[in-house]
Each structure stands twice: as structure tokens, then as C-alpha cells.
Amino acid sequence: MKNKSIITVFIVLLVGAVSWYVYHQPTSSPLNQPSTKLVLGYRPGVAVDLALIDAVSSGSFTSVGIDVELKPYGRADLIFAAIKSGEIQGSLGVPLEPLIDQATKSFYPVKAFQVWYFDTTHAYDGFVTLAEGPKTIEELAGKAVASHPSKQVTYFVTKMVSGSTVKPYNPVAPLTSLDAGDVAAVYVLEPFLSIARANPRYRVMESNSISKRLFQSKRVPVAASVLSSEWLSTHASAGEQFIKVAQAAFANANNDVLARARTNLQKPEFGSLAPAVAQSVSEPLGSLPADLHKSELADFLASLKSGGLIQSDFIETDKLFVSSLR
């Protein structure tokens, strides 16, 4: 009887010890698990995905177990090369045209979780000249105009300034082409419209040019924020969490969030923009892939095809975007 009592006490103590051990083990929350590393490229000075930049600095991704690092690259082609090599696993806004070209050849190295547009309400693109330069785009006929060297932008600028000679400029400092007297105007993207407005030496001739002049003032999907398809396939859970947080940050962004994010643009790693320029620079119109209309994408594909930039207008949108299009 005495032995039986001892055994009973031992069992009770053992059960209690096991319960205490289990209770005090770390939970399976993201904070207690090893974080997943994700390196995203970006172009300094380019005001794209401001809400995501703020989400990174505020720790929104860390809270779900994702360690996001933003890495600067001077050009989009360097970003694509870095994704291919595995140096980075995605990027904030990059041109959509090269991705579409690859998609028409059944190659999908990345998937877009955010879409960026030219439109008529966000002054993200336009023509700049010297203060005493031509007054209208029509006056550029027969003159030299400088453009971003990408095939997509060069093609669009050539269509807008028919009869002009379109020359490539240094994307890091496009306004120097005007300073040198080599061209009558330059077609630029932000932040260079804002930089020009802040300097009396320059004058913005027109903004929102591509949407107004080439697409009947419709939205034009020209860029995307992307994740490596390979990274997504090997980090499915982390990828789902990242996209959820990134898209929520975009959807919930308010003026305070965007103003705070623009402050980052004053830092050397984000472009060293002057405070007045950083706070006035325009971000392009953005949407989630689910809000990109198939007709808008079809118009963009048709334009690229007519210019010889792509050979086919067939792509599998479910492989290029993280969700279905409207």
C-alpha cells in the first residue's frame, strides 16, 4: 500500500513537471521563429512604393518574421541582373516592358505584387526645357530631345515628338543634357519634374504626357513591384505574409505615412533629395494586381507590339501577377 502511494505521488509530480515544461516552451509565433531574409532592390530618388518603405522602417515585416533589406541600384537592368543571380529576391517599381517581353517567351522570373501607372492625375512623367526654351511639345518638331535610354520610353517619346531626334541621356542626371545645350527638351520621370520645378533655370512644359498623348488619358500600366518566382516557390508562407503586409501598407497609407516615407528620400541611400523636393515629389498611381483591368494591359501590350518591342501579345497573367486581373 505504501509503495502504491509513492508511485501515485511520483506520477502526479511527473505530470506536473511535463505540464510546466510544455507551458513554458516558446510559442510558434513569428517573433519566436528564425526570420526569413528578403532583399529588395530599389532605385534611389524614385518615389515608388513609399508605403512599403515606411513599413520596412517601422518594423511591420519584422513583426511577421521577415527581415526585409532594401538595396540600392542605379539602373533597372542592374536590378534584373541581381534578381537573376539571386543577389536580391525582388524589387520596388521596375519597368513592366522587359517582364512582358520575357512573359511572351514563356519565361516568368518574377511575379508582380503591385502595379504602377502613368495617368492624368499623378504628375509622374513629362517634358522639361530651359526657362527660355520652347513653349509647347509641338515646337520640338525638328529639334533634338533627350529620353531615358530604355526601349519602352524611347519608343513612346518618339511617338510623342514626331520629327524630332530622340537621344538617350544619363538616367541619373537627365537635366545635364539641357545644361550642356545638346537638346531642346528632356522627357523625364520623377523626381526630376519636381527638381525642375524647384529650380528657376528649368520649366516643366507638360506632365502626364504618355497617358494624355498616347492612351486617350487612360491608366497605363508601366511598372511593377515584384518578387522572385523562385523565392516565392521556396518560401511560400513567408511570401504570403510579405504580400499581405505590403498590400495592407499600400491600402492603408495616409498622408502622414507618405510624408514620413518621403523624408527617407532626403537620406543619401535614397537619393539625397532636397527637403522641398522630397516632400513634393509625386508617386505614380498604384494598384493591387487585382485592380488592373485586362483592357488596360491589352492596350499596353498592343502598343508595345506595334512598336516592335514585343513579338506577341499573349501572356499568362496568373504567372506574371500574384492575383487575377479584372
Q: How many CA atoms lie within 13 A of 294 on its CB side?
A: 10
Per-residue pLDDT at 35: 80
Per-residue pLDDT at 26: 46
Q: Comparing 31-118+219-320 with 125-207, is the CATH topology the same? A: yes
Strands (E), the chain: 36-42, 66-72, 90-95, 110-118, 125-130, 144-147, 165-168, 185-189, 202-207, 220-228, 285-287
Query: Domains of the chain: which residue ranges?
Result: 31-118+219-320, 125-207
- The Cα–Cα gap between 238 and 324 comes to 20
Cell triple for residue 272? 539625397
Task: Tell me the CATH class for 31-118+219-320.
Answer: alpha beta
Side chain identity at residue 265, one-letter code: L
3-class SS at 143?
coil
Per-residue pLDDT at 47: 84
Percent of the chain surpassing pLDDT 90: 67
Buried residues in 185-214 as b, exposed as e (16+ CB within 10 A): bbbbbbbbbbbbbeeeebbbbbbbbbbbeb
**What residues have CB less than 8 Å from 14, skipping those under 6 apart?**
none
Cell triple for residue 237? 508562407
Per-residue pLDDT at 285: 93
Q: What is the mean pLDDT of each run of 10 residues along the chain (326 residues)?
A: 46 42 43 76 88 91 94 89 94 92 93 95 95 94 92 92 91 91 94 94 96 96 95 94 93 85 88 90 92 93 91 90 76
Per-residue pLDDT at 87: 95
How many of the other CB atoms lie within 10 Å of CB of 159?
15
Cell triple for residue 15? 505530470
Per-residue pLDDT at 115: 95
For residue range 177-219, list pLDDT tens digits in order: 999 999 999 999 999 999 999 999 999 999 999 999 999 999 9
Cell triple for residue 220? 497605363
Per-residue pLDDT at 151: 85
Task: Tell me the CATH class for 125-207.
Answer: alpha beta
Whether residue 125 contacts residue 147, with contact meaning beta carbons closer than 8 Å, is answered with no
